[in-house]
Amino acid sequence: MKDSECDPVIIMDGDGQHDIADIEGLIHRMEETGADMVIGTRMADLANMPRLRVVVNKFMSWLLSKLSGQHIPDTQCGFRVIKRRVLENIELKSEKFEIESEIILKCAKAGFRIESAPIKTVYRNEKSKINPFFDTLRFIAFIIKTKFGR
């Protein structure tokens, strides 16, 4: 396969919380809407999502939807399909959990369209690697730098 045939690019967090069977639904949503990026949304079934995660996801999704000018119900979902040309036209600088947010903001700023599609999420007894205090501070700094920086 040639490099030019790798489209779209599939991104999936490595924490075991996503079902590869959902890739088909993400790609179908991209094809039916013409979106440049489709982000999985876990917000249809919150029964097994830890309460703190629900609150943080809803707040961050509201904020990033406002900043991007596009409705995105689950901005923190790491299961996405993105057209190759999007990734070729945005420069990513983040190194930690805020990269999901950076992709959204830069994609929207460049005029690309973002859609969402429902996915299943598998929650086990794993401990999150997100530090609520430090990662929230890093996210706030990222938003300030993105919105008001160079």
Separation of alpha carbons 119 and 43, rounded Å: 9
Amino acid at 5: E
The residues spanned by each domain of the chain are 3-148
Q: Model confidence at 126, in pLDDT bands (50, 70, 90)?
A: low
Give CA–CA dist 48/55, Å, rounded.
Answer: 13
Burial 76-103, CB ≥16 within 10 A → b, else e: bbbbbbbbeebbeebeeebeebbebbbb
Q: What is the tens place of the pLDDT at every residue in 59-103?
A: 889 999 999 999 999 998 889 999 999 999 999 988 777 888 999
**CATH superfamily, domain at 3-148:** Spore Coat Polysaccharide Biosynthesis Protein SpsA; Chain A (3.90.550.10)
Structure tokens at 43: 């917000």
List pLDDT tens digits, range 45-59.
Answer: 777 777 877 888 898
| CA-based max dimension of the chain | 44
Q: Summarize pLDDT for 13-27 with one digit per residue, the tens.
A: 877 778 889 999 999
| Residue 3 pLDDT greater than 60, yes or no | no
